[in-house]
């Protein structure tokens, strides 16, 4: 508990607790929506609020029927299949191009570094609706609109800023003398890259990749415009479901996706710590 100093006045002490209550309420605001839909997804009725049976914790109030619907309904299954068909490929593209460029950008003499960086990060800043509109216009001209390749290219572009940011962040702490040491011991540049540089920046690359994956997996605006009916992804179906007739199946999917993000968040946290340890930066 709080260790107050003898000179703290009672109003200091009161403020200390009031402040903590305020922060608690804000944390509650942050977590409440996410926490509340998890139990709701086990609702036995088709309601979006707690039924009296649920509040009394009776077993009849709960069921897995919304989960069953998700795993048996062909619409949802196609959507999930499409999502898993698009996101990994888009991620690979972003990570491949992004990592190379990040290594290039972290060299000491890069002309127009700031401008290049600003352009490469811009897909993150430009409102999604504008990216979607532009891609819709341009991809229709070159025949990519409504195709798998079109959606993958678009998602890769959206994921790139995240890879650039995370990988350049890992590279700023990179000790250049390590590559020099490797070179002086006779290793060529390629060997140095794979044996020295790559293992050290790998955590950054992976967490950038996870960001890119989530970006594509969760993206709806661009896919609505660039995609077609046969390329409906999970977010597309959710968006339609929410816009037209909201069905409780969405709550089940939401719960599954929350579990997924908890897993991803833990992975990134572990990677971040590992990277800091490896680079000799102790968390301070």
Partner 1 sequence: MVSVDSIIGRNSLHRKVQRSLRIQKLRALGLIAPLFIFILISFVIPIGDMLFRSIENQLVSEVLPRTTEYLKSEQINEDWEPPNELFWHLYVDLAIATEVKLHTRVGSRLNYEKTGISSLFRKSGRSIKKFGADDYRKALTEQVPELASIDYWELLAEGTKYGYTRDAYNEWKKRLIENDDFSEKTKPSDFLFVVLANDIKSPGATPTQGTIPEEKLLPVISELPEIRFKELFLDTDEDWAEPDVWDTIQLYSPSFTNGYYLNSADFKKGSDGPELRPENERLYALIFSRTLFMSVTITLVCLLLGYPVAYFLANLPMKYANLFLILVLLPFWTSLLVRTSAWKVLLQNEGVINDVLVAIGLIANLERLELINNQTGTIIAMSHILLPFMILPLFSVMKTIHPSYVRAAKSLGATPWTAFRRVYFPQSIPGIGAGSILVFILSIGYYITPELVGGTTGTFISNRIAYHISSSLNWGLGAALGSILLAVVLALYWVYDRVVGIDNVKLG
Site membership for partner 1, residue 252 (CB under 8 A): no
Hey, what's the torsion of the CAs at 28, 29, 35, 39, to 10 degrees?
100
Question: Which of 20/68 has CB closer to partner 1?
Answer: 20
Q: DSSP labels for 185-203? A: TT--HHHHIIIIIHHHHHH
3-class secondary structure, 62:
strand
Question: Could you tell me how many residues of this chain bind partner 1 (CB under 8 A)?
Answer: 96
The pair of three-digit structure tokens given for residue 46, joined into one six-digit string: 């088709």
* Among residues 10, 56, 114, 177, the one that binds partner 1 under rule CB under 8 A: 114
* Among residues 103, 183, 187, 202, the one that binds partner 1 under rule CB under 8 A: 103
Tell me how far, at minimum, the Cβ of 237 lies from partner 1, in Å. 10
Tell me how far, at minimum, the Cβ of 103 lies from partner 1, in Å. 6
Site membership for partner 1, residue 198 (CB under 8 A): no
Tell me how far, at minimum, the Cβ of 25 lies from partner 1, in Å. 9
Site membership for partner 1, residue 44 (CB under 8 A): no
Tell me how far, at minimum, the Cβ of 261 lies from partner 1, in Å. 4
Question: Which of 78/140 has CB closer to partner 1?
Answer: 140
Q: How far apart are CA 174 and CA 107, in angstroms?
A: 11
Residues 6+ apart with CB under 8 A from 48: 40, 246, 248, 251
Q: How far apart are CA 182 and CA 59, in angstroms?
A: 64
CB 37 within 8 A of CB 255: yes
Site for partner 1 in 47-86 (CB under 8 A): 47-50
* Among residues 44, 78, 92, 105, the one that binds partner 1 under rule CB under 8 A: 105
Site membership for partner 1, residue 110 (CB under 8 A): yes
Question: Which of 103/183 has CB closer to partner 1?
Answer: 103
Task: Choose the stretch contacting partner 1; rule: CB under 8 A; options: 58-66, 71-79, 104-112, 179-187.
Answer: 104-112
Q: How far apart are CA 140 and CA 128, in angstroms?
A: 18
222 CB neighbour count, 10 Å cutoff: 24
Q: How far apart are CA 266 and CA 205, in angstroms?
A: 16
Q: DSSP labels for 204-245? A: HHHHHHHHHHHHHHT--HHHHHH--GGG--HHHHHHHHHHS-
CB 90 within 8 A of CB 159: yes
Site for partner 1 in 116-175 (CB under 8 A): 116-123, 125-139, 141, 153-154, 156-157, 160, 162, 165-166, 168-169
Site membership for partner 1, residue 264 (CB under 8 A): yes
Residue 59 DSSP code: G
Site for partner 1 in 213-242 (CB under 8 A): 214, 217-218, 220-221, 224-225, 235, 238-239, 242
């Amino acid at each position: 508990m709080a260790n107050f100093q003898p000179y703290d006045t009672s109003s200091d002490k009161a403020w200390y607790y009031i402040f903590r209550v305020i922060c608690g309420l804000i944390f509650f605001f942050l977590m409440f929506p996410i926490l509340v839909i998890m139990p709701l997804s086990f609702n036995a009725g088709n309601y979006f609020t707690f039924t009296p049976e649920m509040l009394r914790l009776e077993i009849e109030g709960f069921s897995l029927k919304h989960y069953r619907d998700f795993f048996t309904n062909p619409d949802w299954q196609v959507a999930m299949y499409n999502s898993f068909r698009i996101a990994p490929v888009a991620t690979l593209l972003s990570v491949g191009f992004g990592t190379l460029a990040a290594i290039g950008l972290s060299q000491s003499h890069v002309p127009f570094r700031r401008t290049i960086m600003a352009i490469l990060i811009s897909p993150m800043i430009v409102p999604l609706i504008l990216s979607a509109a532009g891609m819709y216009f341009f991809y229709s001209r070159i025949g990519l609109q409504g195709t798998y390749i079109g959606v993958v290219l678009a998602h890769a572009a959206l994921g790139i800023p995240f890879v650039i940011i995370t990988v350049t962040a890992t590279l700023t702490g990179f000790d250049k003398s390590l590559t020099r040491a490797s070179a002086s011991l006779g290793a060529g540049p390629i060997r140095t890259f794979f044996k020295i540089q790559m293992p050290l920046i790998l955590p950054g690359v992976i967490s950038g990749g996870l960001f890119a994956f989530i970006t594509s997996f969760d993206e709806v605006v661009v896919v609505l415009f660039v995609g077609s009916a046969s390329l409906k992804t999970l977010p597309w179906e959710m968006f339609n479901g929410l816009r037209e007739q909201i069905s409780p199946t969405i709550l089940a999917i939401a719960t599954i996706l929350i579990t997924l993000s908890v897993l991803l968040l833990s992975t990134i946290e572990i990677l971040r710590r590992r990277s800091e340890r490896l680079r000799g930066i102790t968390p301070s």
